[in-house]
Structure 1
């Protein structure tokens, strides 16, 4: 059964190009040209992934992402942000709100298909069957791709989960940002280092016992990158 991709852009030409290439790759495609319609379709049609333009009428892509992440029904929907803006700040905002990846316009349709496939692999794949990691009240189930703290489920995006799994599977080992980009995305990923910083910020907000205090689980290794705590104080 083919998976459905929701393409959201107010430029019909871009929607057509994305549709043609994604359908050729075996996906079903539905589309929206504004933010409110995108939200409605995401909730009604349950797509496997959303390709979301940043600049939209009615409700921009950042507000759509924020609304999706706050809704339990769509909190885990993979999102690839599509943007004509090249400023690093705009990309960081999208990632910090919970987008899994981004592509800058103009883009290669083949790259779009490759990014869609990569994000879907991360969202649907298994990291290490049968293995659980527990530290304090935090339980990371690598087979079910779920995270719980004191029995309560913590909703993570596919990218956030994979980043957490890499760090938690090697407690105490420092990873550079480049190594984490390579592990979470792939060796050909063209993202910038602060992509990892944005996802780490999201993870800390979700999994740290005190999101306003100093990190106790995901620790900064200054001049290197990040590591997962070996012990929980």
Structure 2
């Protein structure tokens, strides 16, 4: 029998969209709008058709999804139930708070369909996991909230990526310390590039494609000495912060297509000429 998913979200549109996506992927779904309805659903289906996964919105009309998560973890019959948090609040505090009390994953709104479906397959132990593509996870680290939001929007909505947008290296360190918090690519501010690079290399020795946003990129950056010591420094692509977020996203997608494992999905094919043009612009040519 197909895995049974409890979907808790107060938005009718979100419930309809995610329920349709899950059903299309072979799941059975019980969508409800409130914490109270979720509690009733647990009681109703506990014996005859238990849930294999719960997807909980953080903010609900009658409470906080974290409260329900705590109830699930305290219930001996539900404590092992996989839980995915769903929220438009992409701030790192929400991610960490949820994962810290026993959530298995976090999906932001607007969500990446491929990432949500892939994680649902994995968390329920569905055999379709092997053939299901997963979304690329891109780490964005920059102190400018406007830039972070713009990059997150275009990467998530325009390219279907799962985006982790953080404002500091400390937040990046906390995120990367979480089990399974691997990333496929990163866009970072020049001022924190070397520290983020060190964090990524300690977790993922093979490295990931990186774009460095610089106020005034030039041919003298990255530093020659650092580049000689570390090939990852030399391979980082420097782009001006003034470039449109859409162009940054397109270049990242191209680098992911070239460097990421074939099991990761992509709908973007950016010409090599785009990369060459951006490299020339980054050098001030």
The answer to whether residue 71 in structure 2 is matched with residue 67 in structure 1 is yes
Quote how far apart the aligned CAs of 1:121 are: 2.5
Distance 1:193 1:78, change over 3 A: farther
Distance 1:16 1:193, change over 3 A: farther
Partner of 1:176 in structure 2? none
Partner of 2:8 in structure 1? 8
1:66-93 CA-partner distances (Å, limit 9, x unpaired): 1110111111110010011111111100
The answer to whether residue 66 in structure 2 is matched with residue 58 in structure 1 is no
The DSSP-based 3-state class of the residue aligned with 1:29 is strand
In 2, Cα distance between the equivalents of 1:21 and 1:31? 12
1:68-119 CA-partner distances (Å, limit 9, x unpaired): 1011111111001001111111110000110000001001223211111122
The answer to whether residue 22 in structure 2 is matched with residue 18 in structure 1 is no
The DSSP-based 3-state class of the residue aligned with 1:81 is strand
The answer to whether residue 80 in structure 2 is matched with residue 76 in structure 1 is yes
1:16-36 CA-partner distances (Å, limit 9, x unpaired): 111111111111110110112
Distance 1:96 1:24, change over 3 A: same
Instruction: Mark the structure with the bigger radius of gyration.
Output: 2
Distance 1:110 1:199, change over 3 A: closer
Matches within 5 A, 1:22-171: 22-45=22-45, 46-121=50-125
Contact preservation (8 Å) 2:112, 2:162: no
The DSSP-based 3-state class of the residue aligned with 2:63 is coil
Which of 109-118 and 35-44 deviates more? 35-44
Which structure is richer in relative contact order (CA contacts within 8 A, separation 6 or more)? 1
1:54-75 CA-partner distances (Å, limit 9, x unpaired): 1111121010101110111111
Contact preservation (8 Å) 2:3, 2:124: no
TM-score (norm 2): 0.44
In 2, Cα distance between the equivalents of 1:5 and 1:61? 16
The DSSP-based 3-state class of the residue aligned with 2:116 is helix
What number of residue pairs does the alignment pair up? 139
Contact preservation (8 Å) 1:66, 1:97: yes
The answer to whether residue 198 in structure 2 is matched with residue 194 in structure 1 is no
Structure 2 residue ranges without an equivalent (≥5): 130-160, 165-171, 181-200, 204-285
Contact preservation (8 Å) 1:43, 1:73: no
Partner of 2:146 in structure 1? none
In 2, Cα distance between the equivalents of 1:33 and 1:16? 11
In 2, Cα distance between the equivalents of 1:24 and 1:13? 16
Contact preservation (8 Å) 2:58, 2:66: yes
In 2, Cα distance between the equivalents of 1:120 and 1:193? 28
Contact preservation (8 Å) 2:115, 2:162: no
Quote how far apart the aligned CAs of 1:7 are: 0.7
In 2, Cα distance between the equivalents of 1:121 and 1:196? 24
C-alpha RMSD of the superposition? 2.6
Structure 1 residue ranges without an equivalent (≥5): 126-187, 201-222, 226-233
